[in-house]
Amino acid sequence: MRALVRDPIRAANLTGAELVTGDMGDRASLDAAFAGAYGVFSVQPAYDAPHFDTDEVRYGVNVADAAHAAGVRHLVYTSVGGVERGTGISHWTTKWEIEQHIRALGLPATFLRPVMFMENHASEKYGVTSPTALLRMIGPGARVQLIAVDDIGAFAALAFADPDTYLGLALELAGDEVTREELVAAISHATGLDLSTAPVAPEILAAQGINLDNVRRGGSFGGWQADIPALRELHPDLMDLPTWLDRHGVALFTSRTAS
């Protein structure tokens, strides 16, 4: 197994993979990294505006083109839940463009479409103690689907291990579905944090370049359609929110709030 890294010194503590130096913006480095590979797992980094959308498409297309040129037999691409339903959100439209490019190349592929990350609620920008906390943008009573990032990796591993089942599939991925109130209660109970659900002030959203209509329309905060019971048949260890909090979340919240 190879892992593409931009800085091998910073990535030196990674184990279990051969580190290959490269960059998704550098097609030649991708050609070298993919030579002789059976499969490629493609996910693009989340950069900030103004270059996020154009860079994401460029990187995703570069990965797909290099995989095609290398004769890769299975590309697993991480997109986003609801991408095919035309939300109009620019950084979701970019993922649809990449999906369509992969199809146009005729690459054997699996498309993973995760919903809202559980880890978002412990992140610096959107975490529960941030002025722009994502849970404060969720409307009262709205139902939201969630996925743990480890489970995205688990589905990628399943896809590579069982191409007969997964090639050609597009899977919307979620491990739980909760209301805002249930989300707040679960995190508060597990961490002891006193969480606010007061709406984020418009001026704070504007200063951060966040469009609340886009955020809410993104999953329609209830519009994601992952079939969680069917996904759990494929991956029995799929984490719901309490399980994620117990295994990973509490430690993540603790490290974030302590820093």
82-133 pLDDT, tens digit each: 899 877 777 788 999 999 999 999 999 999 999 999 999 999 888 888 877 8
- Determine which helix (DSSP H) or strand (DSSP E) holds 104, and give its type and residue range: helix 90-105
The predicted structure's pLDDT at residue 95? 94
The predicted structure's pLDDT at residue 143? 87
The pair of structure tokens assigned to 212 is 């609340």
Torsion angle of the four alpha carbons 59, 24, 174, 53, in this order, in degrees rounded to the nearest 10: -30
Residue linked to tokens 């919240």:
253
| All residues at 6 or more sequence positions from 228 whose CB lies less than 8 Å from its CB, including other chains | 145, 174, 175, 176, 177, 238
Rounded to whole angstroms, how far apart are CA atoms 115 and 128? 18
**What does DSSP say about strands 143-147 and 170-173: parallel, antiparallel, or unpaired?**
unpaired
Rounded to whole angstroms, how far apart are CA atoms 103 and 208? 35
- Determine which helix (DSSP H) or strand (DSSP E) holds 250, and give its type and residue range: helix 250-258
Average pLDDT over the chain, rounded to whole?
89
**What does DSSP say about strands 116-117 and 143-147: parallel, antiparallel, or unpaired?**
parallel
* Residues paired with 113 in a beta bridge: 172
The pair of structure tokens assigned to 12 is 């030196």
pLDDT tens digits for 191-241?
999 988 777 777 776 666 666 666 655 544 547 899 999 999 999 999 999
The predicted structure's pLDDT at residue 154? 99
pLDDT tens digits for 164-197?
999 999 999 999 999 989 999 999 999 999 988 7
Within 13 Å of residue 185, how many CA atoms lie on the same side as its CB?
5
- Determine which helix (DSSP H) or strand (DSSP E) holds 77, and give its type and residue range: strand 74-78
Residue 245 pLDDT exceeds 60: yes
Q: Which residues of 127-150 are buried (b: 16+ CB within 10 A; e: fewer)?
A: bbebebbbbbbbeeebbbbbbbbb
pLDDT tens digits for 18-56?
999 999 999 999 999 999 999 999 999 876 555 678 899
